[in-house]
Amino acid sequence: MIGQVFETVWDAIESDPAEAAKLRTRSDLMSALTAHIKAQKWTQAKAAEYLGIAQPQVSDLMRGKLSRFSLDSLVMLVARAGLKLSVKVTKQAAPKRAA
């Protein structure tokens, strides 16, 4: 790993590109949900009500506990929050090497 430059932290901690993509996507969805909850000025209790989950799960979401949420569950929460999810697929760049 010495001398390698990574596009994201997920690429650095996960050697399998597919797993890194899953982690990155889950992180992006959690960030979007957290931003939406804050923008709506929902309490954790109100967010739990809207999302159909328990308040401690909202706390985990807000604290970025990635391991507590599957990709499927995050997609469901995005929909319940009234957000629209779009997916963009692009060709991945080759890994860069430092000089």
Residue in 47, 24, 45 with CA at minimum distance from that of residue 35:
47
CATH code for the domain of 68? 1.10.260.40
The string of pLDDT tens digits covering residues 14-45 is: 667 788 889 989 999 999 999 999 999 999 99
pTM value surpassing 0.95: no
**70-92 burial code (b ≥16 CB/10 A, e <16):** eeeebeebbeebeeeeeeeeeee
- 94 falls within a domain: no
Q: What is the pLDDT of residues 49-72, one digit of tens each?
A: 999 999 999 999 999 999 999 999
Range of the domain at 73: 4-89
User: Residue 14 and residue 59: Cα distance in Å, rounded?
Assistant: 26
Q: Identify whether 29 is part of a domain.
A: yes
| Domains: count for the chain | 1
